[in-house]
């Protein structure tokens, strides 16, 4: 039965893969894999692969179950996953084919790299105004001189090109917004009900209950996992998505920035940057930290001395200084070798990747120290001694006795570090040594807002949008990290 | 004046957990009279400590709460007192000592300050007066040179000293009742004897009452006036010491006595109590001991036994005491297992011959890690062990017995000396050459919780050694062998897919034994394999080890500090003191006619449930540091019979009989 189930999953998976490949080939675009894209997909593969490996290991699954059983953590997980979904959509890049030129059969591709998310957000992406406009505004933020039909010049707030352009009468704005809001809410509710119905049907099949019984169990909160909370959070997320999209097409929900770009689009694009920094940095530092930390603790002696020497030295250099120096070198290198990068996006991506790298190199010491201490403790434990007494080879002792028993520390650190790194990006970009200025990121948005805040009246919406999105991500990550730490920390059990 | 100091009525403390309500204390009633010592006896997990914490209202809230009952101290109910008054009771009228002296003291505060805090708080003394009182207290608990100790930090004191300081803190408030929660469990027998004696003496001086919580029948026999036996949250028997030790009534108490290893039970199987203490989350519909009781019948399952108070003061909670059922016999008989006497001739050739084994650990100091000295953990040890025999290595903690085990296994490479196993000197082999020999010598550790990898299943744990040693053959043969091994150690083959955390301490120790047996060893080094277990479980493991020795002809090097286990199991005994063997011989010779003053003191310090024939002999002081062993005989600073020569030279071994030797100038 299990084999059959596995086969079914396998067939499903390979089928999906096949469809994806066919779609990818048939669409007339040139697919672009940026460095960070490649790493993100590698990371996803690793996560799915380890999920596949631990599916039959109860002791590895049990702590995750404990995490999911906490209502707050599972709600945070839904929020995190929706961020991840946006980030992933934003990580599939391509260049569109330009309309064929007359007399040439060669296909030329656009110099702009787009992502699937860009494509989905097309109306919002291309609806660019002239300059600043407030959220839901119909007019520009500042007065401009315009010529009337009768030839007189007046200074007035010109109508926006897109925001509320469909309105005949500007008095209708309020009713239009309310109407759209209601429509969006009912659509999202409908979609949510369909999705919930599907989920409940699957669960009812699995527990072989009638549909009605399953609904009752769920509503009363009698499920093992807090499905009620999960579904309600999902409703909130879907509500937001529908409202933002349906209003976003008609208005600038978060206003526009200096060059008239929609701020909602910017913050959504910033999600990928934040996630990349938060995850890839830890991914890069992980091998250093795990190998060096465990080696130092387990082998002791001169190996320990050397590794300790390295990380003590590295720790004593101010991190910001090291990052600034490295980023500046990278900047100079990119500027000196323009032929290496075909598009602007590739250049910005290279800098992002490099930022992750240097953040990783400066931040592995903390985890390394923790792992060294743990390995020092483990090597003296009786079961390791017993393995020695059996003549078990060193590499086997490391892989089956030491490594599995430090895994929880790695995981806890990983999740705890995530939100710190997202915030670090904002700070570094603010200082001017973060990601490329052309790249959408919360740090850049906040940096730009520095000047906007000084205007009179104040332009507050860029900062607020960046703040809200970053705040929700970091809060969800922290709540989730807390639950992970509680579930995996052996001292907190029993 | 009322004679009863503390009266506990139907006390209930429950814990809300994820697996239901744990009734840690479920209707406990007893009373303590002024000046008497009341012992609460029971296995781990029976709610003894929780009872004590409930008396002091120190139950960890909100997980636990006192649900019902009353605790009357001189007629005042402590459970209804407001918190600020309770603070005056704690440490004031009721003092408390905990088990672990290492963690009960604040490591960054001077010892004197810690006692003074309590003195200032409860006696209202200040400055000079308070310090003077602290010095008095330090003196009273037998700490030499109080003036100097006052300014020391806890890490500068030894374990026994710390426990004395804890006692001093408890005494600072001049309590009427002292609650001592396993006060000597973490200490060595000689130190335990000192501390127990001190407590008895203080009690005589101050007239305070004492509630002693312990699992050790021996300690109870030494100091208690009255005894209550706790089982699964309830008191099942309560009696005066004389009644309890001469005529235990409850089947559980009887079994406890029967499962104590003892020299008189050599050659027989120890009685065991089946299974283990039921989880306290169980809803009991009958007697809590029913599942493990030899006398149980269906009434025990269905009806809760009542408390029977006899005129003599003896109380029992058992259906056997009901008038109608009086005198019912045993309903469960243990499998009568013929104890096969050893018929195999013991070959003369020793399987293990250790000559002059020394393990010294260098002490590094300074920037360049220069070697500034050595810890002489093992300092010249000779051992001969024949196949099928058990040699017990006895000594206090810190004397180097565990290091001997690891040195023989080459887990720690010896500094000097030979370890000949079947005439091959293991110390001369490289790690690679050693690997095929590893299967022949195996080790069982003390702590069953740290000796199994929590991330591996039992089958993988047992298989690990077989794979490393290339034993067990194909995969299916391997699995078959694992099943056999599990059955051999009294587990069932279904257990092999489980993880260690699903087992109790005793079961884990069985898994450890199965793991060791998997590679077909000839010698097993047992490093205190039962000291972390309860008495009833200890009996199971000892029986198993004995059975395996008879079936497989194994040789054991049994490292222990527990003399009763030695009496029961060992053929030969070697007594270690500070890295050297001071006396060695056949078990009867050494235990019945101990010659070395240290052996004599060690034996007399062991608390015994029988009236001791041995004359009481108390050692002063503690084990010296193995970094700077005393000049001459290592034992001379503590020896009651010290002579001039002892301070100059280390005595050679003197052969008393063919098998018995001692290293002491008294017999030169």
Q: Does B222 share its domain with B371?
A: no
For residues B654 and B667, is the Cβ–Cβ distance under 8 A? yes
Alpha carbon separation from A120 to A37, A125, A126, A128, B583 (Å, rounded): 18, 9, 11, 16, 87
Of the candidates A386, A390, A392, the beta carbon closest to that of B451 is on A386
Q: Does B230 share its domain with B365?
A: no
User: Nearest CA to B10 among B235, B232, B288, B176?
Assistant: B235
| Residue ending a domain, choose from B257, B283, B298 | B257
Could you read off the pLDDT of B577-615 as tens digits, one per residue? 988 999 999 988 898 889 999 998 888 888 877 665 556
* Mean pLDDT, rounded, for B371-379: 86
> Which alpha helices (DSSP H) does B518-586 contain, by range?
535-552, 563-569
The whole-angstrom separation of Cα B332 and Cα B278 is: 19
| Residue ending a domain, choose from B580, B612, B637 | B580
Tell whether B339 is covered by a domain. Answer: no
The whole-angstrom separation of Cα A409 and Cα B192 is: 40
The lowest-confidence range among A98-107, A424-433, B48-57, B393-402 is: A98-107
Tell whether B413 is covered by a domain. Answer: yes
Q: Does B223 share its domain with B95?
A: yes
User: Nearest CA to A285 among A358, A199, A381?
Assistant: A358
* E strand or H helix that includes residue A163: none
Tell whether B635 is covered by a domain. Answer: no
Phi, then psi, of B399 in degrees rounded to 5: -90, -5
The lowest-confidence range among A273-287, A314-328, B338-352 is: B338-352
Q: Which domains does chain A have, with CATH numbers?
A: 267-492 (1.10.3720.10)
Domain holding B522, by residue range, is 352-580
User: Nearest CA to B96 among B146, B135, B58, B134?
Assistant: B58
> Within 10 Å of residue B667's Cβ, how many Cβ atoms?
14
Q: What percent of chain A has pLDDT over 90?
A: 26
| Closest CA of chain B from A200, distance in Å | 27
What pLDDT does residue B363 have? Answer: 85
Tell whether B83 is covered by a domain. Answer: yes
Q: Which residues of B touch A (CB under 8 A)?
A: 406, 409, 411, 434-436, 438-439, 441-443, 445-447, 450-456, 464-465, 468-469, 499, 501, 512, 515, 519
Could you read off the pLDDT of B507-547 as tens digits, one per residue? 899 999 999 999 999 999 999 888 878 887 888 889 899 98
The lowest-confidence range among A47-56, B384-393, B425-434 is: A47-56
Chain Cα centroid distance, residue A314: 29
Could you read off the pLDDT of A245-298 as tens digits, one per residue? 888 888 888 888 888 888 999 999 999 999 999 889 888 888 889 999 999 999
For residues B390 and B572, is the Cβ–Cβ distance under 8 A? yes
> Within 10 Å of residue A426's Cβ, how many Cβ atoms?
25
- B418 pLDDT higher than 50: yes
The helix/strand/coil state of A326 is helix
Q: Residues near A22 by Cβ (< 8 Å), separated by ≥ 6? A: none
Q: Give me the helix-helix angle, A403-431 and A442-452, nearest 10°.
A: 30
Q: Is omega for the bond preceding B62 within 30 degrees of 0, making it cis? A: yes
The helix/strand/coil state of A435 is coil
Q: What share of chain A is helix, strand, coil (3-state, %, to 5)?
A: 70, 5, 25
* Mean pLDDT, rounded, for B176-205: 86
Confidence band for A1, pLDDT divided at 50, 70 and 90:
very low
The whole-angstrom separation of Cα B9 and Cα B31 is: 8
Q: Indicate the number of domains in chain B.
A: 2
The whole-angstrom separation of Cα B357 and Cα B507 is: 34
* Mean pLDDT, rounded, for A376-396: 90
For residues B656 and B662, is the Cβ–Cβ distance under 8 A? yes
Q: Cα angle at B77 between B74 and B80, to 5 degrees? A: 155
Could you read off the pLDDT of B236-252 as tens digits, one per residue? 999 999 889 888 888 89
The whole-angstrom separation of Cα A225 and Cα A73 is: 11
* Mean pLDDT, rounded, for B353-373: 85
Beta strands in A315-442 (DSSP E): none
Alpha carbon separation from B305 to B68, B253, B469 (Å, rounded): 20, 16, 54
Confidence band for A60, pLDDT divided at 50, 70 and 90:
confident
CATH for B146: 3.40.50.300
DSSP state of A98: P
Chain A neighbors of B464, CB-CB under 8 A: 387, 390, 392, 400
User: Nearest CA to B560 among B547, B575, B549?
Assistant: B575
Tell whether B585 is covered by a domain. Answer: no
Q: Does B224 share its domain with B362?
A: no
Q: Does B233 share its domain with B368?
A: no
Tell whether B91 is covered by a domain. Answer: yes
Task: Verify whether the Cβ–Cβ distance B455 to A59 is below 8 Å.
Answer: yes
The whole-angstrom separation of Cα A459 and Cα A447 is: 13
| Residue ending a domain, choose from B257, B280, B308 | B257
Confidence band for B392, pLDDT divided at 50, 70 and 90:
very high
User: Nearest CA to B67 among B59, B75, B6?
Assistant: B59
Mean pLDDT for chain A? 86
Nearest CA in chain A to B405: A389
What pLDDT does residue A2 have? Answer: 46
The whole-angstrom separation of Cα B656 and Cα B662 is: 7
Tell whether B370 is covered by a domain. Answer: yes
DSSP state of A262: B
Could you read off the pLDDT of B3-29 as tens digits, one per residue? 889 999 999 998 887 777 888 888 899
Counting DSSP H helices and E strands in chain B, the numbers are 21, 24
Q: Does B470 share its domain with B365?
A: yes
Q: Does A301 touch chain B (CB under 8 A)?
A: no
The helix/strand/coil state of B181 is strand
What pLDDT does residue B1 have? Answer: 44
What pLDDT does residue A78 have? Answer: 94
Could you read off the pLDDT of A203-215 as tens digits, one per residue? 888 888 888 888 8
For residues B335 and B263, is the Cβ–Cβ distance under 8 A? no
- A158 pLDDT higher than 60: yes
What pLDDT does residue B296 have? Answer: 82
Confidence band for B319, pLDDT divided at 50, 70 and 90:
confident
- A244 pLDDT higher than 70: yes
What pLDDT does residue B615 have? Answer: 60
Nearest CA in chain B to A378: B450
Q: What percent of chain B has pLDDT over 90?
A: 21
Tell whether B523 is covered by a domain. Answer: yes
The whole-angstrom separation of Cα A91 and Cα A273 is: 10
Confidence band for A494, pLDDT divided at 50, 70 and 90:
very low
What pLDDT does residue A7 have? Answer: 66
| Closest CA of chain A from B628, distance in Å | 25
Could you read off the pLDDT of B42-74 as tens digits, one per residue? 888 788 888 998 998 888 877 788 888 999 998
The whole-angstrom separation of Cα B451 and Cα B36 is: 42
| Closest CA of chain B from A391, distance in Å | 5
Q: How many CB pairs under 8 A join A and B?
A: 63
């Amino acid at each position: 039965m299990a084999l059959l189930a596995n086969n079914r999953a396998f067939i499903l998976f390979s089928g999906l893969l096949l469809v994806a490949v066919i779609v990818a080939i048939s669409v007339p675009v040139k697919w672009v894999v940026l460095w960070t894209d490649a790493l993100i997909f590698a990371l996803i593969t690793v996560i799915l692969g380890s999920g596949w490996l631990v599916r039959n290991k109860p002791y590895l699954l049990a702590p995750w179950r404990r995490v999911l059983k906490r209502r707050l953590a599972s709600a945070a997980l839904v929020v995190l996953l929706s961020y991840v979904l946006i980030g992933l959509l934003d990580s599939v890049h391509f260049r569109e084919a330009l309309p064929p030129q007359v007399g040439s059969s060669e296909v030329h591709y656009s110099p702009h790299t787009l992502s699937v998310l860009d494509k989905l957000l097309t109306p919002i992406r291309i609806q660019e105004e002239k300059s600043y406009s407030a959220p839901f505004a119909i007019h520009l933020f500042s007065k401009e001189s315009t010529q009337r039909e009768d030839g007189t010049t007046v200074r007035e707030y010109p109508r926006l090109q897109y925001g509320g352009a469909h309105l005949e009468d500007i008095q209708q704005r309020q009713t239009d917004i309310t109407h759209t809001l209601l429509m969006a809410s009912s659509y999202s509710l409908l979609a949510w009900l369909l999705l919930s119905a599907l989920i409940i049907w699957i669960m009812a099949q699995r527990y072989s209950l009638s549909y009605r019984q399953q609904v009752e169990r769920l509503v009363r909160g009698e499920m093992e996992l807090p499905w009620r909370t999960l579904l309600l959070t999902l409703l909130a997320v879907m509500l937001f998505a529908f409202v933002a999209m349906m209003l976003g097409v008609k208005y600038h929900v978060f206003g526009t920035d200096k060059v008239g770009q929609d701020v909602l689009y910017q913050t959504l694009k910033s999600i990928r940057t934040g996630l990349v920094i938060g995850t890839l940095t830890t991914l890069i530092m992980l091998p250093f930290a795990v190998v060096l930390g465990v080696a130092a603790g387990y082998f002791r002696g001169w190996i320990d001395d050397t590794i300790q020497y390295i990380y003590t030295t590295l720790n004593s250099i101010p991190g910001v200084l090291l990052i600034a120096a490295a980023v500046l070198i990278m900047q100079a290198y990119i500027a000196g070798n323009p032929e290496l990068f075909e598009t602007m996006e590739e250049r910005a991506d290279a800098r992002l990747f490099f930022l992750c790298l240097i953040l990783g190199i400066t931040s592995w010491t903390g985890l390394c120290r923790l792992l060294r201490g743990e390995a020092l403790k483990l090597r003296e434990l009786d079961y390791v001694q017993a393995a020695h007494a059996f003549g078990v080879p060193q590499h086997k002792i490391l892989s089956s006795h030491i490594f599995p028993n430090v895994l929880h520390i790695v995981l806890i650190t990983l999740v705890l570090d995530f939100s710190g790194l997202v915030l670090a990006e904002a700070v570094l970009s603010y200082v001017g040594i973060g990601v490329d200025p052309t790249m959408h990121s919360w740090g850049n948005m906040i940096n730009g807002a520095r000047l906007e805040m000084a205007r009179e009246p104040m332009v507050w919406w860029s900062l607020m949008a960046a703040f809200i999105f970053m705040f929700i991500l970091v809060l969800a990550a922290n709540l989730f990290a807390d639950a992970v730490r509680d579930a995996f920390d052996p001292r907190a059990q029993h | 004046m009322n004679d009863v100091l503390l009266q506990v009525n139907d006390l209930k403390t429950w814990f809300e957990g994820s697996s239901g309500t744990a009734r840690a204390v479920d209707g406990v009633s007893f009373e303590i009279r002024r000046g008497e010592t009341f012992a609460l006896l029971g296995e781990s997990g029976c709610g003894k400590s929780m009872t004590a914490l409930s008396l002091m209202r120190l139950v960890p809230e909100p997980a636990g709460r006192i649900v019902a009952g009353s605790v009357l101290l001189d007629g005042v109910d402590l459970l209804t007192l407001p918190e600020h008054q309770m603070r005056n009771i704690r440490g004031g009228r009721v003092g408390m000592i905990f088990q672990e002296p290492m963690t009960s003291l604040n490591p960054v505060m001077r010892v004197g300050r810690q006692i003074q805090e309590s003195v200032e708080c409860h006696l209202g003394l200040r400055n000079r007066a308070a310090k003077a009182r602290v010095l008095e207290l330090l003196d009273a608990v037998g700490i030499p040179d109080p003036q100097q100790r006052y300014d020391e930090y806890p890490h500068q004191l030894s374990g026994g000293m710390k426990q004395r300081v804890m006692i001093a803190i408890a005494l600072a408030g001049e309590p009427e009742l002292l609650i001592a929660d396993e006060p000597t469990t973490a200490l060595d027998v000689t130190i335990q004897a000192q501390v127990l004696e001190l407590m008895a003496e203080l009690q005589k001086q101050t007239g305070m009452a004492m509630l002693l919580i312990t699992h050790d029948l021996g300690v109870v026999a030494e100091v208690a006036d009255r005894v209550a036996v706790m089982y699964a949250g309830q008191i099942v028997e309560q009696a005066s010491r004389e009644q309890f030790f001469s005529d235990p009534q409850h089947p559980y108490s009887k079994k406890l006595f029967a499962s104590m290893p003892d020299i008189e039970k050599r050659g027989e199987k120890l009685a065991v109590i089946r299974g283990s203490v039921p989880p306290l989350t169980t809803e009991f519909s009958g007697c809590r001991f029913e599942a493990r009781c030899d006398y149980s019948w269906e009434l025990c399952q269905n009806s809760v036994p009542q408390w029977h108070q006899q005129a003599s003061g003896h109380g029992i909670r058992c259906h056997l005491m009901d008038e109608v059922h009086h005198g019912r016999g045993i309903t469960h008989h243990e499998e009568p297992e013929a104890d096969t006497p050893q018929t195999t001739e013991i070959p003369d050739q020793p399987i293990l011959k250790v000559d002059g084994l020394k393990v010294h650990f260098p002490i590094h100091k300074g920037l360049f890690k220069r070697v500034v000295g050595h810890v002489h953990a093992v300092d010249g040890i000779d051992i001969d062990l024949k196949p099928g025999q058990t040699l017990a290595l006895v000594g206090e903690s810190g004397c180097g017995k565990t290091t001997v085990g690891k040195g023989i296994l080459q887990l720690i490479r010896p500094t000097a000396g030979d370890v000949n196993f079947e005439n091959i000197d293991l110390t001369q082999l490289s790690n690679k050459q050693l690997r095929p020999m590893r299967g022949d010598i195996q080790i069982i550790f003390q702590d069953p919780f740290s000796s199994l990898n929590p991330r591996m299943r039992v089958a993988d744990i047992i298989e690990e050694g077989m794979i490393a040693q290339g034993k067990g053959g194909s995969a299916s043969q391997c699995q078959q062998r694992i099943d056999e091994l599990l059955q051999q150690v009294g587990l069932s083959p279904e257990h092999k897919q489980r993880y260690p955390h699903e087992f109790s301490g005793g079961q884990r120790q069985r898994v450890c034994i199965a793991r060791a047996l998997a590679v077909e060893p000839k010698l097993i080094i047992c490093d205190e394999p039962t000291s972390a277990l309860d008495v009833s479980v200890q009996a199971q493991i000892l029986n198993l080890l004995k059975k395996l020795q008879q079936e497989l002809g194994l040789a054991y090097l049994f490292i222990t500090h527990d003399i009763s286990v030695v009496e029961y199991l060992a053929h030969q005994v070697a007594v270690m003191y500070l890295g050297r063997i001071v006396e060695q011989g056949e078990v009867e010779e050494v235990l019945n006619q101990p010659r070395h003053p240290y052996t004599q003191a060690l034996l007399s310090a062991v608390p015994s449930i029988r009236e001791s024939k041995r004359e009481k002999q108390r050692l002063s002081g503690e084990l010296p540091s193995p970094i700077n062993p005393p000049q001459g005989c290592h034992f001379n600073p503590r020896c009651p019979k010290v002579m001039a020569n002892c301070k100059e030279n280390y005595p050679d071994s003197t052969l008393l009989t063919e098998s018995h030797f001692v290293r002491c100038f008294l017999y030169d």
